[in-house]
Amino acid sequence: MKTQSDNDSNEKYNKARKHIEELKGFYYHLIVYCLFIPFLIFINYKTYWGFQWFWFAILGWGIGLCFHAYHVFVNNGIFGGNWQQRKIEQFMREEEEQRWE
């Protein structure tokens, strides 16, 4: 029979595993960005350097990369994972306090 501590440790393990997968996905995204942008600059240089269209790719993809980084590293804000955990704990405390009144 599983105890509460087993469930807690499984939940923590699953959260940590999910965060590692998100982190790995971000680093893959960053590596592909760093490899592909110079390739786009090279193509632009070899075809027609008069109009430097690679800036659009740098800016657009860079914004996407920033959102990805925010999601992985900073997303503990108003509706991040920590917010959800704090709310669950708050509701559990309030329910426990009401039970004793």
Question: pLDDT tens-digit profile of 9-63?
Answer: 888 888 889 889 999 999 999 999 999 999 999 999 999 999 999 999 999 999 9
- Is the pTM higher than 0.75? no
Note whether residue 93 is domain-resident.
no
Note whether residue 25 is domain-resident.
yes
Note whether residue 41 is domain-resident.
yes
Total tally of structural domains belonging to the chain: 1
Which residues form the domain of 21? Answer: 4-72
* Residue 20 DSSP code: H
Note whether residue 78 is domain-resident.
no
Note whether residue 97 is domain-resident.
no
CA nearest to 65, candidates 34, 37, 26, 38: 26
**How far apart, in Å, do the first and last CA atoms of the chain sit?**
32
Q: Which amino acid is at 90?
A: Q
pLDDT in tens, 50-78: 999 999 999 999 999 999 999 888 876 55
**Please, are residues 86 and 92 in contact by the beta-carbon 8 Å criterion?**
no
